[in-house]
Amino acid sequence: MLREILRPIENELQAVNNLVERELYIKSVHIGTFAHLEFSYNEKIIRPALVILSSRIYGLTEYKAVALASVFQFIHMASKVHGSIPEKDSDYIREDLDPRDGSQFPVLVGDYLYGKFFSFLYHAGMVNYLGPLADIICQIHEGGILKNKTTGKYTSTDAYREVVRKETAVLFAGCCAMGARHAGASENDQESMRRFGLNIGMASGLLERGADAKYAAVYLKDARSGLKGVPETPEKALLEQIIKNLFEHNQAIRRMVV
């Protein structure tokens, strides 16, 4: 369903995918050989889509947001690789051990992907985003540290929600706020998009962690309300469809569980 919703920006999303894939090779070797880089369609597409749609709402068209969207995808990939590294150190020594399941190579792959984010910022002339992006990365890692101190899956607790906010939602918020900023949106509009991204990121983060749909529904409602002051454009309508798709997907899962 998400694929159909995002059909109007399919070309830009494909351009992001092509850019990212091209950078996943060191000479002729794909770095997926050394770390788990298997991502669902949604994981590959949702963050770049938010950057592109948020920028197009405020008048930035065609491929000018593709580099920024790629930066956010590199950050997401790097954080996922680092987040999946086992706590117990494991070096790739024996030939029958999959290097992707160890710690040595995944650490290097994650660092490599973070390096690509820096490189893209520099070559695209977007170093002005370095500060806010560095802050987002710090929060993602803070979330990982807090998660290790949080026991159980108590989705109603402030501690649990803070982990979701830092590990997932702040990156969504950055996609929307910086996409709008890249298009020259006012600070008020950037803040509106940030709040929208934070709420949809909280909903997505809760859902991917298996939380009850009722917790995600609160944030989806706030995300929809946050779009009220956003210019009426086809891209805004697509964001509303994304919210609706998440909500309906939630309801379907909830019915299956019940």
What is the three-class DSSP state of 30?
strand
The model scores a pTM over 0.75: yes
pLDDT of 256 over the 50 cut = no
Given a cut of 60, whether residue 93 has pLDDT beyond it is no
Digit-coded pLDDT (tens) for 181-202 = 999 999 999 999 999 999 999 9
Least confident of 65-79, 88-102, 158-172: 88-102
| Cβ pair 87, 144 in contact under 8 A | no
152-167 mean pLDDT:
81
Q: Which of 134, 131, 100 is nearest to 114 (CA)?
A: 134
Q: What are phi and psi of 26, to 5 degrees?
A: -110, 105
Q: 249 pLDDT band (50/70/90 cuts)?
A: low
Which range (70-74, 107-111, 186-190, 227-231) has the least confidence?
107-111
Position 72, amino acid: F
According to DSSP, the residues that pair with 25 across neighbouring strands are 30
> Is pLDDT above 80 for 236?
yes
Q: Give the model confidence (pLDDT) of 31-87 as tens digits.
A: 777 667 788 888 899 999 999 999 999 998 767 799 999 999 999 988 888 776 665
How many other CB atoms are found less than 10 A from the CB of residue 137?
18
Structure tokens at 20: 């990212």
Q: Are 201 and 222 in contact (CB under 8 A)?
A: no
Where do the domains of the chain lie, and which CATH numbers do they carry? 2-257 (1.10.600.10)
Instruction: Give residues with Cβ within 8 angstroms of 168, minimum separation 6.
Output: 143, 201, 202, 204, 205, 208
Mean residue pLDDT of the chain comes to 85
Mean pLDDT across the stretch 93-109? 63
Helix (H, G, I), strand (E, B) or coil at 26: strand
What CA–CA distance (Å, rounded) separates 113 from 124? 16
Q: What are phi and psi of 246, to 5 degrees?
A: -65, -40
Mean pLDDT value across residues 169-186? 96
